[in-house]
Structure 1
Amino acid sequence: MSKTLPTVLVVDDEVRSLEALRRTLDEDFTVLTADSAAAAAAILAREWVHIVLCDQRMPGVSGVEFLSEVREKWPDAVRIIISGYTDSEDIIAGINEAGIYQYLLKPWQPEQLLLILRGAAEMLRLQTENQRLSVDLKVAGPVMRRRVADKRASVARSFAAESLLRAPDSPMNAVCEMLAKVARLDVPVLLTGESGTGKELLARALHLASPRSGEAFVTENCGAVPDQLLESELFGVKRGAYTGAYEDRLGLFKQADHGSILLDEIGETSPAFQVKLLRVLQEGEVRPIGAPRPQAVDVRVVAAT
């Protein structure tokens, strides 16, 4: 039986670029092409697409705008932008608004392109496998639980620090060595680096190498949310706290209880809000909006900026 290839939808208004990308990917993927966002949306509506590779500069709509729509309507598709421009605002928007997996610059090299798309396909496969295992775990007996645990360990190894792609002489080697040492210490961690340099991957690897690896790993992009909304997202809300609060809502800190939480772009929050976060670090407790008293939480905080 022949292996089913992942499906890639390539979106570019330049016919030559479409053809070059199709030829490069054809052996490893089932390739669909579209010369506009409208044509791509029509394909997504009728075909099962695993990866969307979209040019940033197109007439009428940008790649970020289109992939933001893809994120909303087809969230399971891995989204990748390809561009000939190094506009930092486009890159940041791609990460925050479109949730892109990678921002690839032109001129691209075939080997680099294939490496990125193979990585995206493998990530999608692991996520699908993890979701299936979660369903299995709910209905399985002791034997199946052991099999699921083994599979989860395999998935965890795929995201571990030693699995991060890097060259033999890469500065990331020293970072990963430090990560392995810090992971064993139950202390808050601050990761610094430019957008798109893999801080979330490092945070996840840190969690998987820690004693909390069996618990939840939760992420929040603090730079994309206003302070007032961020407070409700992180700390939770009690019913009746404000108009429209019809039920209790569990905050991300409680969802990550006994696990780890990544607070990305922490430097974008206001000083007043950072004081509230400091209370969590110092006291180990959060107070949901409208709650009469704080609630204890046991969470490892990983901040990134």
Structure 2
Amino acid sequence: MTQTRPGILIVDDEPRSVEVIARVLGEEFEVFTALDAMRALEVLENEWVQVVFCDQRMPGRSGVDLLTEVRRRWPDVVRIIVTGYTDPQDMIGAINEAGIYQFITKPWHPDQLLLAAQGAARLYHLQREHDRLSLELKLAAPAAEVRFAEQHERVLRNFHFDALVRTPASPLNEVCRRAAQVAAFDIPVLVLGETGTGKELLARAIHYASLRSERPFFAVNCGAIPDELLESELFGHKKGSFTGAYTTRIGLLDQADGGTILLDEIGDVSPAFQVKLLRFLQEGEIRPVGSNETRRVDVRILAATHRDLAGEVKAGRFREDLYYRLAAMVLTLPPLRERRGDLRVLAPRILDSLSSAHGKRTQGFTEEALACIEAYDWPGNVRELQNELTRMLVLAGGGPLGADLLSPHVLRGAAASSANATAADLAVKDTGPLKDRIERMEALILMETLLRCRWNKSRAAEELGLSRVGLRAKLDRYGIARDGTFGRSH
């Protein structure tokens, strides 16, 4: 019959004691008995025993002598001595020789025996589980290393310079080329560019292309945090150093030891904090708020700002010595209006990511929508583009995303930018006689409405309160056509 309950061996030269202990434990455990050491060893060789209860005083061989051999031959078995002596030195000797789990002194209580047996059985199970997990970890170590290597490789791909999507003719290529050159050199880099141009993305690419790629990367928006909190964020603080400091905090500079920190919007920090930051850059030491101890850390500093930092230095709002500490190399990211050719590859890439994130499939853009996206200036750069594409995705039904899903201001901007030289003169000038300026506004409204209505002239005419013939006359007058021409025909 298969043994399903934990096995317990009771060893005692007194049959009455064996019988009583067996009765106490028999309801919960599979009980085996032996009246001497030799019989006990035979049971252990043939049965699955997890716990041994052994009397200390037995003829021929004592309990400690028997359990010492049990420890040598069956080290997993949990050993319990039932004894009448309590001398501490004897107990210590028994623990050292036989590895005794517990002593039960006579006279014992039935509940005491049962609790000891239950605890010993749990210990046996935990030991076996520990051994199993240790073996699994040992066997899985090479696979875990492979998984870590694969994950690290995936991170390197995701944050490589190729993550800054661009075409072969993009002005961003030169910036990425210089960034790749400087990445391997452990020097500070200052990244300039308008909000939303991808400064943090470029900084991450620099980190993951450097020798610090396996160490942490942190980005801190210095412009969004007050001085006191920014100091605590970067340098850490001791418990009780200020109101609300209920625990000690390790600063990001300490956490990033060996890695990289991006100080985003560095141009917005106060003059007082500029001094603290300069001291760290000069000495390489941090001192948590409320502490008198300093600690050296090895952190590469990258900085970014949308401001003209050299101009801020001239105006006296930014320390010159700090500027030169941060700007060993200066990289400037171009805005989207200078990367119009990139929009035809960038917009679909962003749309794919949004589609996955929101669980909504899409069939891409219509050619007209792409033309409008390419024509618009995107003053908010990639962030504005991402928001606009999110809006389009949410509003889209079936089929490709059309120009009618674009916001009115995007359509107006695209209409104004989609013209040739004559159209630019017509639509962009904001000076001249009132009649000409009104005509320019009318032409823009016509173009925007047609784009939104997908060039359905009947629908556009109805929306504008015009007859189809009247709309046609105005389109001819302003030279507006679906092929992109936009200019006076007279």
Q: TM-score range by the shorter chain?
A: 0.5 to 0.7
Q: Which amino acid aligns with 1:229?
A: L
Query: CA 1:287/1:184 → structure 2, altered by over 3 Å: closer, same or farther?
Result: same
Q: Which amino acid aligns with 1:255?
A: Q
Secondary structure, aligned partner of 2:244: coil
Are residues 1:296 and 2:296 paired? yes
**1:162: Cα distance to partner?**
2.9
Q: Which residue of 1 aligns with 2:249?
A: 249
Q: Which residue of 2 aligns with 1:157?
A: 157
Q: Which amino acid aligns with 1:289?
A: V
Identity between Structure 1 and Structure 2 (%)? 60
Deviations 1:127-161 (A, max 9, x none): xxxxxxxxxx9x95232222221232122112101
Q: Which residue of 2 aligns with 1:215?
A: 215
**1:279: Cα distance to partner?**
1.4
Q: Which residue of 1 aligns with 2:233?
A: 233
Deviations 1:226-263 (A, max 9, x none): 11111111110011212332221011111111000011
**1:211: Cα distance to partner?**
0.2
Secondary structure, aligned partner of 2:263: strand
Cα distance in 2, alignment partners of residues 229 and 221 from structure 1? 12
**1:291: Cα distance to partner?**
0.8
State the superposition RMSD in angstroms. Answer: 1.7
The ranges of structure 1 where at least 4 consecutive aligned residues each deviate by more than 2 angstroms after the TM superposition are none
Q: Which residue of 2 aligns with 1:166?
A: 166
Query: CA 1:226/1:140 → structure 2, altered by over 3 Å: closer, same or farther?
Result: farther
Q: Which runs of 5+ in 1 are unaligned?
A: 1-136
Q: Which amino acid aligns with 1:238?
A: K
Q: Which amino acid aligns with 2:257?
A: D
Cα distance in 2, alignment partners of residues 290 and 140 from structure 1? 45
Query: CA 1:140/1:271 → structure 2, altered by over 3 Å: closer, same or farther?
Result: farther
Which structure's residues are more often strand, by fraction? 1
Which structure's residues are more often helix, by fraction? 2
Question: Which range moved further: 249-258 or 162-171?
Answer: 162-171
Structure with higher Rg: it is 2
Residues 174-189 of structure 1 aligned to structure 2 (within 5 Å): 174-189=174-189
Secondary structure, aligned partner of 2:213: coil
Cα distance in 1, alignment partners of residues 269 and 207 from structure 2? 23
Secondary structure, aligned partner of 1:219: strand
Residues 6-17 of structure 1 aligned to structure 2 (within 5 Å): none
Cα distance in 2, alignment partners of residues 140 and 290 from structure 1? 45
Q: Which residue of 2 aligns with 1:205?
A: 205
Cα distance in 2, alignment partners of residues 140 and 186 from structure 1? 36
TM-score, structure 1 normalization:
0.53
Q: Which residue of 1 aligns with 2:435?
A: none
Q: Which residue of 1 aligns with 2:271?
A: 271
Q: Which amino acid aligns with 2:189?
A: V
Query: CA 1:257/1:169 → structure 2, altered by over 3 Å: closer, same or farther?
Result: same
Cα distance in 2, alignment partners of residues 170 and 294 from structure 1? 46
Are residues 1:145 and 2:113 paired? no
Q: Which residue of 2 aligns with 1:130?
A: none
Secondary structure, aligned partner of 1:205: helix
